[in-house]
Amino acid sequence: MVNLRTFVLAVAALVLPLSTAAAAQNEITIARSVSTTAMDPGFLREAATIVDNIFDTLVMRDDDMKLVPGLADSWKAIDDTTWQFNLRHGVKFHDGEDFNADAVKFTIDRILDPAANSPTISYIRTIASVEVVDPYTVRIKTNGPDPLLPTRMSRYPTYIVPPKYVQKVGNDVFARKPVGTGPYKFVEFIPDQHVILEANEDYWRGKPSIKKVTWRAIPDGTARVTALITGEADLVENVPVDLAPMIEQSPDADLVQVKNGGLTIYLGLVMKDKPLDNVKVRQALDAAIDRKGIVDNILRGMATPKGTQVGPADFGYLDIPPTKYDPQKAKELLKEAGYPDGFSIKMQSSHRYMKDGEVAQAIAQQFGDIGVKVDQEVLDWSVYTQQVPRKGPIFMLGWGSTQTLDADAAIYAIMRSGEPYSTADVPELDKLLDESRKIVNPAAREKVLHEVQKVAAETVPLLTLYQEDSLYGKAKDVVFAGRQDARIPVFDIKLKSAE
């Protein structure tokens, strides 16, 4: 009978008036496409979007993506393998524990501990040890010169955690009830439903203006955008391109388009396979793609054609224009390479990026125009990731430098031969890439990174297509411009109605 009663109640609810009013003053609901599973910043298997609001890092990034002091007042390289960080005084964790050098050492040591099996250890692999000089000074020693160390201190897994609390409750509980120094305190976490945070009134950067944040997970794009338009959510991330007009046309919401905020999409080429071992063939394929046509017509302008894998906001970016669409030249290159009649080749893609199925189809057609017959294979993402990048021989993938904003993250893993995701094999590139990891001096390093991109443009180890924008939807009342590094710092979000 309980079923029946619930059912009758449900039907009754149909006729009852319903309040879909936007969030009450100074409260905000943010809908993401993925569920949060755990909030221990040292052991994340997902984006740090929520964690970023609970914890702080030694180094932070401002709106222009410049590195600025966070929990560290200042930092400097003492020698090629030692960085010193001077820590901020008077900062406390949400439970009252003091933030100091011991907390920094504890944070890094627990990730480096091989027994801990941290999934993100690779991000700080270069660190050899952490020394506490005095309560507010730490020195971090690296295995070799590491120019990116300050950057590594600005993103997960190096959000500073409270040693006493973590040791007391253990990692498992900590992941469900996190305590940090950040602008928001943890309140409640119900998996697949929500995470609730409240303002940390004692925050060292000042009182947050929004007092309560509810993070929800709505996996379906239509449901997520609907939630925004109906006022069930005030901010949504990951808006599907097709649904962007729904937000643009809504009187209650705005589309936030962050130029170059997304991944750079490329076609990987398994270079050891014939005929992709021939540079002229790779150049021909590169010239056969109409990037502008794809971006304008398929992606509705929500991406930017590119000539390098490095993003404009990344350190080391070299402004290389996208390869010119020239099917005539592509045909000639094929002829020179010894394939006057073209060839047949397999191309794999999945459903992960903006309209990638349609983009892959367009490219297959454009390859067809120069005589290269493409056998297209579209796989489910979970299967795709098992085959890419080994099978191919042409495969579509997105890569980015998000949260690092350095050319190294954008290119090393996909261009250095032998790396798990790389199918490139250009000795000259390998040499330059290795060199780039040994230089600490920024100017010298930038020069080498520029050189890498020049060589890549000539030898075409992969076909760079375009960089996606990242798309958010927000209620009119919310002030949020979106960030290059894909973070959602609620501390910086304001509500117009609360001003």
Name the site residues for other proteins (rule: CB under 8 A): 2-4, 6-7, 9-14, 16, 18, 20, 34-35, 37-38, 43, 45-46, 114, 117, 119-123, 125, 171-172, 175, 190-193, 216-220, 222-224, 226-227, 229-230, 232, 381-383, 385-386, 413, 420-421
> Rounded to the nearest whole angstrom, what is the least distance from the CB of residue 279 to other proteins in the complex?
26
Choice between 10 and 443, CB closer to other proteins: 10
> Rounded to the nearest whole angstrom, what is the least distance from the CB of residue 125 to other proteins in the complex?
7
- 136 Cβ neighbours under 8 A, 6+ residues apart: 86, 87, 88, 89, 100, 101
What does each C-alpha distance from 141 to 117, 130, 144 come to in angstroms? 21, 6, 9
> Rounded to the nearest whole angstrom, what is the least distance from the CB of residue 47 to other proteins in the complex?
12
The DSSP string of 280-303 is: HHHHHHHHT--HHHIIIIISTT-E
Q: How far is residue 415's CA from residue 429's CA, in Å, rounded to a whole number?
A: 8
> Rounded to the nearest whole angstrom, what is the least distance from the CB of residue 287 to other proteins in the complex?
29
482 and 311 in contact (C-beta within 8 Å)?
A: no
Choice between 99 and 384, CB closer to other proteins: 384
Helices 407-415 and 427-436: crossing angle in degrees, nearest 10, is 140
What does each C-alpha distance from 337 to 285, 317, 323, 330, 347 come to in angstroms? 12, 31, 19, 11, 20
> Rounded to the nearest whole angstrom, what is the least distance from the CB of residue 35 to other proteins in the complex?
6
Choice between 34 and 479, CB closer to other proteins: 34
Q: What value, to the nearest 5°, has the Cα angle with vertex 67 and ends 63 and 70?
A: 95
User: Token match 């261009």: residue?
Assistant: 415
Choice between 90 and 418, CB closer to other proteins: 418
> Rounded to the nearest whole angstrom, what is the least distance from the CB of residue 339 to other proteins in the complex?
33
Q: How far is residue 135's CA from residue 139's CA, in Å, rounded to a whole number?
A: 12
Choice between 27 and 98, CB closer to other proteins: 27
Q: Which contiguous run of DSSP H or E holds residue 11?
A: helix 2-15
> Rounded to the nearest whole angstrom, what is the least distance from the CB of residue 256 to other proteins in the complex?
20
Choice between 121 and 258, CB closer to other proteins: 121
Choice between 3 and 344, CB closer to other proteins: 3
